A and B are shown apart, each in its own frame.
Chain A
């Protein structure tokens, strides 16, 4: 605009009949131009010497020849008096930027005139402010989304929801959550403080009936008075003062409300669709529902998993030392196709035990292993002999598989291999084992002298053939002898230097021999550790180990 201005010469004031060239140039300008100067030589009062039509539109009330303050634009008057070179001011609700340029001496007053070039930047400023707001808002929502969805735990999500909102949406924030139970959970967040969690009975919401409505309804309930929530037992530092905004937290599984306590009413912020608080509440609701759903599923999974995991060994059995180790193939699931169990000693003095492997992996395999164990629990009521038990179990599994086929559960595994039996300690400190097998690798016996022998035992898969045959034998463990039952996940673990070799029977025998003198539990842990070293971090099938030991003849303490 500078280049269109006359370079210097005094402007005609007031406009004469014969308008000068420069006056006509000024009239055509879209920028506002105002020339001010002292009313009289040496005077302090500033008057308008000239103003173009754009100037009159921008600063209505200013008129050539009239004092500047008559325009009623205090901010502009102050700028003129102060003689700023560049300024930005709010004038009559508009944002102005301007520049004051001294002109040559006025011929009449001898005082300096100033020419003000003014531009209305209201729209620009509003645009960039709203852009900034939109950016900050998008950033807040993105961060909130990340933080809220990082965790699938209801309590933590509630805490995160209150922490994020406190200070950003309002100095004090209350998040309430109702599910199907009679308890309403809440977390109060205060700017710069740790969130405070708590619970109230659903009945306590009666003191704030409209809050209950907001939590269960779909539309916002407006407006709110702080006193409505004063009796809610969630304010440790006294009831809220100021303004209260309640935003429903929508959700498919749980519902809640976001209560914002502010000193002044929240500005109507609807430029980009939903107000920020509502956008936030939607994200909180989604995260809370996901967490609540996950909790239900996880509980289901935990209960099922608990019933499928190998049960703990009996704490202590007279005359018998026990040990076990178990590593399922998929560790996040922690259930698999291998199973083992040692039951409490029976009234007739036997300790029944079992180790097996269903043909399959993962949860389906675990379901079949559960079925095998439960069937055996029932069958033991009518039969004690290990080989006879396997005959019964074989028939039971085949019958169950027929039922499955009728009900169309085609992916369920059907076969299992196992060694089962019982242990009876004898008065001389030995342990007599009765063993039977169906298609499972035979156990080893580690003698107290360090020798390792394989038990001769074989049989067909359990649950495969109606006329399956299951071998049986007896083994006498002398004091210090250990019998190790294992699943083929041990011998078929691929590892070694190039990751292709099976661990194999020979290495297992060597590992076992190195454990002479160790209690049964240490035998299992040591074998598992050597196997882990062999695997070198590679994936593996389920691994199960169960060791039964006759206590060493001399109590260990007597060596000392």
Chain B
């Protein structure tokens, strides 16, 4: 169940992944399933196929979308095929019966529709002997609370790709705390080093499915209340931004492009406001700075340009004068440096 020790085997997997990506590119579900199952029949561990072929290929798909070489529908189709492949692998080589290490519920945060990473984690943990319940994508905290009461799992594992979902993560942490169930967070939403997992009070963080399995096999997860950065003021300013979201997006779009802004622009401005709200929520300017760098790296036709992002941030700072933390964050050194770096310098 560990990474392939034999370099030749690892090289094999690279070849399998290239083959798999070609199938995704051709929207060939049958072919993709055949590639994955053949790799398993050829002696590769199902976990390696799921993580080093399927998950890695999906990462590549995301990069192709970000680079503008794939359309969003192509990305959706690829993800759909990979989901079918995971189901096929799980039917082809079912996980052995649970070994009694524990029961775990795996879910995506409310608003997180990318269910594949959580699904992969569920498969991997099942192969590590866990009794896994996969709750699905975009699971509201209330539904997790119901599951905690009816099923009483030992641990909850939650996955999310977008930091803008961090307020939802905090609601989930609170639901888990109420029942004394530890919660493990994973996925890019929680920052490259998991710092935002601690900021919202998660009891543990893992960068990927293998690390999650290792972490869960070790000591019991224990949170650190001192690391939680969410407080009443940050909740308040985040809620205020959320309530004014539509109005702010409309005003910013009009300022930037006039009366008829593109859908891509309003989508991007929506993300901008959501990431700002999340950064305020966990009190970390680095979250917004990362977003500025990320959105400037995308190639989306009609989307927000770096220069427009800079102007939008200025505009927000001048409109949100009654939210001191939000303004301080917008004018922070980290955000200014990111803007300077991507050519989005404003007067802020």
The digit string for A487-510, where 1 denotes a CB below 8 A from any CB of B, is 000000000111100000000000
Chain B residues whose C-beta falls within 8 Å of the C-beta of A151 in the assembled complex: 148-149, 152, 178-181
Select which of A515, A516, A560 is within 8 A of B25 by beta carbon: A560
Asked if B319 lies at the interface with its beta carbon under 8 angstroms from chain A, I say: no
Q: Are A498 and B28 in contact (CB under 8 A)?
A: no
| B318 close to chain A: CB less than 8 A | no
CB of B142 to closest CB in A, whole Å: 4
User: Is there an interface contact between A150 and B180, defined as CB atoms closer than 8 Å?
Assistant: yes
Nearest to B250 among chain A residues (CB) is A497
Determine, out of A264-272, A344-352, A517-525, the stretch whose residues face the partner at the interface. A517-525
A156 touches B152 (CB 8 A): yes
Given known pairs A533-B270, A557-B23, the reply for A519 and B148 (CB within 8 Å) is no
> Which residues of B lie under 8 Å from residue A150 when comparing CB positions?
177-180
Q: From known contacts A498-B250, A557-B31, infer whether A152 and B149 are also in contact, taking CB-CB under 8 Å.
A: yes
Q: Are B73 and A521 in contact (CB under 8 A)?
A: no
Q: Determine how close the nearest CB of chain B comes to the CB of A523; give it in whole angstroms.
A: 9
Known contacts A519-B80, A557-B26, A560-B28; is A153 also within 8 Å of B179 by CB?
yes
Residues of B contacting A525 with CB < 8 Å?
Answer: 76, 80, 113
- Of B46-54, B240-248, B298-306, B327-335, which binds chain A? B240-248
Within 8 Å by CB of B26, from A155, A294, A498, A560, lies A560
Is B151 on the interface with A (CB-CB < 8 A)? yes
How far does the Cβ of B128 sit from chain A's closest Cβ, in whole Å? 20
Decide if B30 is an interface residue (CB 8 Å cutoff).
Answer: yes
- Closest A residue to B269 by CB, please name it: A497
Chain A: interface size category? 35 or more
Question: Which of these, B29, B113, B179, contacts A556 with CB under 8 Å?
Answer: B29
Q: Contact check: which of A160, A294, A517, A560 meets B149 at CB < 8 Å?
A: A294
Known contacts A298-B146, A332-B143, A522-B76, A556 near B180 by CB under 8 Å: no
The answer to whether B148 touches A522 (Cβ under 8 A) is no
Q: Is A334 an interface residue (CB 8 A)?
A: yes
Given A517-B27, A522-B80, A557-B23, does the pair A147, B180 have CB atoms closer than 8 Å? Answer: yes
Task: Name the residue on A nearest B137 (C-beta).
Answer: A525
CB distance from B238 to the nearest CB of A (A): 12
Check if B22 is an interface residue, CB within 8 A of chain A. yes
- A515 contacts which chain B residues (CB < 8 A)? 73
Of residues 299 through 317 on chain A, the ones whose CB sits less than 8 Å from some CB of chain B are 299, 302
Q: Does A331 contact B (CB under 8 A)?
A: yes
Per the CB 8 Å criterion, the residue count for chain B at the interface is 40
A521–B242 CB distance below 8 A: no
| Nearest-Cβ distance from residue A30 to partner chain B, whole angstroms | 52
Q: A152–B150 Cα gap in the complex (Å)? A: 7
A375 interface contact, C-beta 8 A: no
- Interface flags for B309-323 (1: CB within 8 Å of A; 0: not) read 000000000000000
Q: Give CA–CA (A302, B181) in the complex, Å.
A: 22
A334–B152 Cα distance when bound, in Å, is: 20
Interfacial residues of chain A within 137-178, with CB under 8 A of chain B in the complex? 147, 150-156, 160
Q: In the complex, A184→B247 CA distance in Å?
A: 59
Contacts of B73 in A (CB 8 A): 514-518, 522, 526
A519 touches B77 (CB 8 A): yes
A108 at interface by CB-CB < 8 Å: no
Residue of B nearest to A160 (CB): B180
Q: B236 interface residue, CB < 8 Å from A?
A: no
At the interface, yes or no: B140 with Cβ under 8 Å from chain A? yes
Judge whether A233 is part of the interface by a CB distance below 8 angstroms. Answer: no
**Residue B225 is within 8 A (CB to CB) of chain A in the complex:** no
Chain A: minimal CB distance from B318 (Å):
20
Distance between Cα atoms of A432 and B249 in the complex (Å): 45
Does A536 lie at the interface of the complex (its beta carbon under 8 Å from any beta carbon of B)? yes
Residues of chain A with a CB closer than 8 A to B193's CB? none
CB distance from A36 to the nearest CB of B (A): 56
Distance of A334 from chain B, by nearest CB (Å): 7
Asked if residues B27 and A155 are in contact (CB atoms below 8 Å), the reply is no
Contact (A155, B152) CB under 8 Å given A332-B142, A533-B267: yes
Residues of chain A within 8 A (CB-CB) of B140 are 331-332
The answer to whether A537 touches B111 (Cβ under 8 A) is yes
Chain A residues near B26 (CB-CB < 8 A): 556-557, 559-560
CB distance from A289 to the nearest CB of B (A): 14
- In the complex, residue of chain B having the shortest beta-carbon distance to the beta carbon of A302: B150
For the complex formed, measure the closest distance between the CB of B300 and the CB atoms of chain A, giving whole angstroms: 14
Q: Which chain B positions have C-beta within 8 A of A536?
A: 245-246, 270
Enumerate chain A residues within 8 angstroms of B249, measured Cβ to Cβ: 497
- Kindly state whether residue A532 has any CB partner on chain B within 8 Å: yes
Contacts A332-B140, A529-B113 given; indicate if A518 touches B152 (C-beta within 8 A). no
- Given A147-B180, A150-B178: A334 in contact with B143 (beta carbons within 8 A): yes
Q: Is the CB of B178 within 8 A of A153?
A: no
Binary contact track A112-156/B, C-beta < 8 Å → 1, others 0: 000000000000000000000000000000000001001111111
The verdict on A295 contacting chain B, using a C-beta distance below 8 Å, is: yes
Distance to closest chain B CB from A267 (angstroms)? 30
A515 to B152, CA, bound (A): 40
Chain B nearest CB: distance from A530 CB in Å?
9
Asked if B29 contacts A153 (CB within 8 A), the reply is: no
Judge whether A331 and B142 touch: CB under 8 Å.
yes
Q: Is B160 an interface position by the 8 A CB rule?
A: no
Which of A156, A302, A331, A497 has a CB less than 8 Å from the CB of B266?
Answer: A497
Determine the residue in chain B with the shortest Cβ distance to A533.
B267
Instruction: A522 to B249: give the CA distance in the assembly, Å.
Output: 28
Query: Are B76 and A526 interface neighbours, CB within 8 A?
Result: yes
**Nearest chain-B residue to A529 (Cβ)?**
B113
A507 to chain B minimum Cβ distance, whole angstroms, is: 9
- In angstroms, Cα B152 to Cα A141, docked, is 23
Mask: chain B, 83-114; 1 = CB below 8 Å from A; 0 = not? 00000000000000000000000000001010
Complexed CA–CA distance, A160 and B180 (Å)? 9
Q: Which residues of B contact A556 (CB under 8 A)?
A: 26-31
A residues contacting B by CB (< 8 A) are 147, 150-156, 160, 291, 294-295, 298-299, 302, 331-332, 334, 496-499, 514-519, 521-522, 525-526, 529, 532-533, 536-537, 555-557, 559-560
- Extra contacts, 7 of them, besides A151-B152, A295-B150, A526-B73 (Cβ < 8 A), are A150-B177, A150-B179, A156-B181, A298-B146, A526-B76, A536-B245, A559-B26
B interface residue numbers (CB < 8 A to A): 22-23, 25-31, 72-73, 76-77, 80, 111, 113, 140, 142-143, 146, 148-152, 177-181, 242, 245-247, 249-250, 253, 266-267, 270
Q: What are 8 pairs between A and B in contact, CB < 8 Å? A: A150-B179, A156-B181, A331-B143, A332-B143, A515-B73, A518-B76, A519-B80, A560-B31
